[in-house]
Structure 1
Amino acid sequence: MSAQTVDVRTAPHPPRPAAPPPRRPALLSRPRVRALRAHVGTVAGVVILAVLLWRLGTGVLLQGLRRLDAPSLSAALAIGLVTTVCSAWRWQLVARGLRIRLPLGAAVADYYRALFLNAALPGGVLGDVHRAVRHGQSAGDIGRGVRAVVLERVAGQLALTVTGTAMLLTLPSPVRAQALHLAPLVALAVVGALAVLLALHMNRAAPSRRGRALDRMLGEARAGLLSRRNGPGVALSSAVVLAGHFATFLVAARVAGCTAPVPVLLPLAVLALAAMGLPLNVGGFGPREGVTAWAFGAAGLGASTGVAVAVVYGVLSFVASLPGALVLVARRRTGGYAPAVPADVSSEKYGAKESARLASSSLPFSGVPREGRPMTPDSV
């Protein structure tokens, strides 16, 4: 054996590669977690409906449906037209405050489509997600488009909160005593939150990334909702939309055979509308029926009557959103979408590119790849 021969038994071995990190169990994978989170609302809505049917029977669901007639359906369509146009106008005002141009005609069509998708799909928010993403794509800024929709929905919820609180405190309702006790605590919490926001806004000595994001969010909310140019229109449209929801609820109560006076029904309508804001439903049904059954029972009108009113209200709301199905079919056939170009960006920069990009995605939840990943509602 020559001197250059190396004994493999004594030769140093190369370092072993590091062991890969342990893989997460399949049950905790990110896709499964997202799927579970997306179906929690559907499961909750099914459970609520199952409990109501078990306790009250199927007769309460059919009691009001048998009373539906052409005048009530026509009233729902007429009220829905007014509320949808006012909601689209509010969206247009908010978008203008965020420097996004949005024609009123396109806003009305997109809002009708969003209402139909909210009523037809589980969760009750996928239509708004679709509206936000598509508007952001057409504007060349998805984040700004999403924030415009979020602020528009916040305006509606603020109108419901302010008006509903006043009604619950002044009109007889099942929760009036509790509301009177909680009102000082809620007012104190609001004042404290405003004080914290004011302190953060005034403390600009060492601005951080989070502080800049908060300032930008507050600035956009002020420009979209509270400016002298947009504030009156946003308040007026929100009041008309809320009045339309109350009118639809009163029509549903009369169709279901409830003869209670309007001052008694308005606080119950507030509770039903507040429950509808929870994304825990199946096609709009779920918490609304449960809360309405409890509220009508506590008011001495009968839980079965409350369920009947809620079911009729859901049917009337779905009928009012049916023009959105026509918009959806028309948009799928043409494959087009009216681009909303930012007011501070020239149309020559985005017009041709955005039109060609959006024409390739005509399905309701389709989206073009962005940074190598497809745009889905979960990515908003």
Structure 2
Amino acid sequence: MRFWRLAVPPLLLLALWQVVDGPAALAALRGVDPLLWLAALALLNVQILASALRWRLTAGFLGQSLGRGQAVAEYYLATLGNMVLPGGVLGDAGRAVRAQSGVGLAVAAQAVMIERLAGQVALFALLLPALALLPGIAAGPVLALGVLLGAGAVLVVAGPGWARRFGAQMRRAWLSPGALPRQLALSAVILAANIGAFALCSAAVGAPLGALALVLVPLALLAMLIPLSVGGWGLREGAAGLLWPLAGATSEAGIAASIAFGLAALASGLPGLLVPLLRR
């Protein structure tokens, strides 16, 4: 069952508490600057709104009509679902199912997948050059990421029929006339909002990252993609605890910053609770 993942976050956080100075991490979290945390929360809401618009844009190029209000409401609900349900993608699956009217589940699912994939592509596009800020460890990650991206491109171009069909839909969504500039603009806003929110949370616990936020935050966010947790909890904190010392901060500060970011992300999805109530 997927719900065994519910046990992963508390177990990982408990392990981190034992490995690092747990009370110091808790003290940093208690001392969070509320204004900086609220600014991070605002940025995460900007990210949700821009993501909803990117989904609507992507769906439109695939022949699926989504109203702006529908896209925003569904994205808030999906964000909350991704944060509290095991696997981190059940919220997205739900919005694909609910939005399938008129086009079918296949197209609706492709629109959701391509929209989310755009976010990962943007993250890698920033991370690859940003790793140059860490020259001592850059070569290995750059090579690994390059191999993964190359393998994905080969699969889309020369893989099985389903992969080629998905690749064709990606080209429609991203390379149709007028698509690419809007896709790039929205992806840039979303990525900047995510990184900015995490950096603000880190500053809020007394650990400003400076320019290294461009590499440390994406690496911490990538840990959330591992489907072994709920909302990335535990995995993200572990990554931050390992990475933050590269910026001269403590592991405890990294864990506190990650928890503050996780709480802000959870709070940003709470308006999704209103969606079912309003629809009734």
- TM-score computed with the length of structure 2 as normaliser: 0.89
Q: Are 2:75 and 1:75 equivalent residues in the alignment? A: no
2:142 pairs with one of 165, 175, 183: 183
In structure 2, distance between residues paired with 1:298 and 1:154 = 28
Q: Are 2:117 and 1:154 equivalent residues in the alignment? A: yes
RMSD value over aligned CA atoms? 2.4
2:249 pairs with one of 292, 301, 313: 301
Q: For structure 1, which segment, 268-277 or 38-47, has the greater mean C-alpha deviation from structure 2 after superposition?
A: 38-47
Bigger CA radius of gyration:
1
Q: How does 1:154-233 map to 2 (within 5 A)?
A: 154-169=117-132, 171-172=133-134, 176-181=135-140, 183-184=142-143, 186-187=145-146, 190-191=149-150, 194=153, 198=157, 200=158, 210-211=160-161, 213-233=162-182
* Gaps in structure 2 of 5+ consecutive residues: none
Residue in 2 that maps onto 1:13? none
Asked if 2 retains the 8 angstrom alpha-carbon contact of 1:122 and 1:284, the reply is no
Residue type of the alignment partner of 2:9: G
Give the superposition deviation at 1:284.
3.7
Asked if 2 retains the 8 angstrom alpha-carbon contact of 1:64 and 1:311, the reply is no
Give the superposition deviation at 1:283.
4.2
1:322 pairs with one of 270, 277, 280: 270
In structure 2, distance between residues paired with 1:69 and 1:293 = 20
**Higher RCO, 1 vs 2 (CA within 8 Å, ≥6 residues apart):** 2
Asked if 2 retains the 8 angstrom alpha-carbon contact of 1:87 and 1:237, the reply is yes
Asked if 1 retains the 8 angstrom alpha-carbon contact of 2:237 and 2:259, the reply is yes
Residue in 1 that maps onto 2:82? 118
Give the superposition deviation at 1:293.
0.3
2:195 pairs with one of 237, 241, 246: 246
Residue in 1 that maps onto 2:91? 127
2:107 pairs with one of 130, 144, 169: 144
How far does the alpha carbon of each residue in 1:135-190 deviate from its partner, in whole angstroms, 9 at most, with x for none? 12x33501111111011100000000110111112x23xxx433224535654665
In structure 2, distance between residues paired with 1:276 and 1:88 = 20
Q: 1:197 to 1:250 in 2, by over 3 A?
A: closer
Give the superposition deviation at 1:290.
0.4
Q: 1:303 to 1:182 in 2, by over 3 A?
A: closer
In structure 2, distance between residues paired with 1:98 and 1:105 = 19
Q: 1:289 to 1:181 in 2, by over 3 A?
A: closer
Residue in 1 that maps onto 2:61? 97
User: Number of aligned pairs?
Assistant: 280
Asked if 2 retains the 8 angstrom alpha-carbon contact of 1:76 and 1:319, the reply is no
Q: Look up the SS of the partner of 1:178 in the other structure.
A: coil
- TM-score computed with the length of structure 1 as normaliser: 0.67
Q: 1:296 to 1:186 in 2, by over 3 A?
A: closer
In structure 2, distance between residues paired with 1:191 and 1:326 = 42
- Please state which structure has a larger fraction of its residues in helix: 2
Q: For structure 1, which segment, 105-114 or 176-185, has the greater mean C-alpha deviation from structure 2 after superposition?
A: 176-185
Q: 1:140 to 1:287 in 2, by over 3 A?
A: same
* Gaps in structure 1 of 5+ consecutive residues: 1-34, 202-209, 335-380
Q: 1:197 to 1:74 in 2, by over 3 A?
A: closer
Give the superposition deviation at 1:219.
1.1
Give the superposition deviation at 1:194.
4.3
> Identity over the aligned pairs, expressed in percent?
33
Residue type of the alignment partner of 1:296: W
